[in-house]
Structure 1
Amino acid sequence: MFTERLHRITAAGTGRGYTRIRLADGPMIYIKARPHSTELDEVYLAPGLTAPGTDDWEAEDDELVLTGESASGTLYMDVPAEAVGELITEHGGEHAIQDADFPPVGYQIHPAKDGRYPVRRGTQRLGYMACRARVWQVIPLGGTMWSGAFATSEEAADHLLKRAEAADKHSAQRAEWVLRGALAECGLPLTRGSQAVIGQGPTSWVQIDVLHRSPYVTGDEPYVLVYLRRQDDEEEMTLDRVVTDADEWVVLLGSGDDTQLPGATFTAADTAALSAYVVDWHRDPEASWTAALAADHARRLTALNTAATRY
């Protein structure tokens, strides 16, 4: 069981006073600890709590003056944080309602390993932080150098969270991530492709292959390419810029011999229809290919007739 408040306390410390943790079944644990410590200086168990009879728990005193009032409980010294976490778990974890000294945040600090605290946002790893020469430094996921000089562990973790949020905001605007988000519910694997085209520059797209289905009657494997372009620029083929209202999504239907047909186009905002089209294609690639072939033939015939009337 993840004891979020305990992990934040062991990283940040408690100062000169006690910080308390309310357990899920009601009782309180009071903790006094230095920052960046795997062993808590003092742990006071309020009445109703009994410590395990292990060497990790050695009673110091049966009476304790706490917050100016006499309190009947048991005080323990130098208790490993891991042992306190086990006791909290035995009582159902940490209560949802706690003091406001550690307000809710969007990150979680995990126990230190080799002096490094993993920081996560749910299941997403944001990076690590460590206490070095009395200041906290961070290294984001994928980074190669430690940086920063934060006064507290909370500031360091918050910095990693803000970096991740800024990256999310930037990535969410790029066509590739807009497209991936739109097609996520399809459950189909997306493979990014890219190529440098002479006179045109780099191109990029995603490819989607059929899963567990027979190939076309010709024996070729069906696939789909999806990319973004400006509505007035048929040469553009990209996923590497921000989506605008002047853009459209293009779907190409392909086969194993590199034959490709125009499948459909959708406005930049109509990603739901785009996703539905891909799902329909995957359900019956042969029918989608036949329809695209007929539409392409009709377009070519219209173009020929239009050209003929001009002369």
Structure 2
Amino acid sequence: MITARLNRIVAAGTDHGFVTIKLADCLTLNVKTEPDTAIVEEVYLAPGITAPDIEAWENEDDLELFLNNETCGGTIYLDVPVEAVRDLIQDHGGEHDDQDNGLPDARFQINARGDDGQWAVTVEGEQAGRIFLAGETWYAQANGANTPIECDGAEAAAMYLVELADVAAGRVTTAEQDLRAELADHGITPHRDEDTLIGGHRNSWLIIGPHDGEFPNMEEQPYILAHLHNPADSDEVTVDRPIRPADEWMTVVGPGNPSEWREVMGTCFPATATASLAAYIADWRRDPRAISEKALTEARTGSAEILNAPETPSA
């Protein structure tokens, strides 16, 4: 059974107010929620609707409820999972065909769960892929992708598909595109590199050596590598998605002198400071050794991290 109105409401949010859902048996419930969420902030059940006696509905609010400046009967519940609200709607025959007003606008929508146990995600009216739950882990699988990607919750899975759809449609740019554009202002062309991990995840990064567009000899030549770092996901290494406000640019500096040390984590930049990162790389290109020595000094004093450091040679 499709709950199109509920799906659209939780995608668009209710702008800090309540929105009514009329049920097939002509009873009503009201929901108030932030956009793009798996938890409904408040659910008002009008008289005649009883919440199931399950954990999802245990957070009952004893405050007096006002709708349209009038005191109402019924009960209000806090922090109810969307799936629990959907199940209640379906227990009452689904959503009524005649709603009091139209569906709220939403750029993307998580549609009702299908017979295959998956939720289709549409972006700008076009299906971008599906999300599903396996055990306690949410996965997202884009259209045409062979392998699903593990995500931190249903919302993160849907947003992963939204980002891919926006990139494919040219509505947003990727981190790689942004950094390439800034480096071009300095006359620098990076080399893209990547590897595919077990489970379908793919690491990707940009690397700059002495010669534009070429992959450097990392044992003999200086280089600097850059990728996005998500503080909430320390394992992510990518330049393939759009930059998010909480992201950082992570750099790895290699001086081409493996007898002393191999790589260090260099300077981190807020992801919004892509231009500053490009200027840093341009400074490095002019004097790789100076920047590399500075990064090594910071690593030794604890403000950066040495990677793959060899054992100290014996005298």
- Compute the TM-score of the two structures, normalised by the length of structure 2: 0.37
Structure with higher helix content = 1
- Compute the TM-score of the two structures, normalised by the length of structure 1: 0.38
Bigger Rg, structure 1 or 2: 1
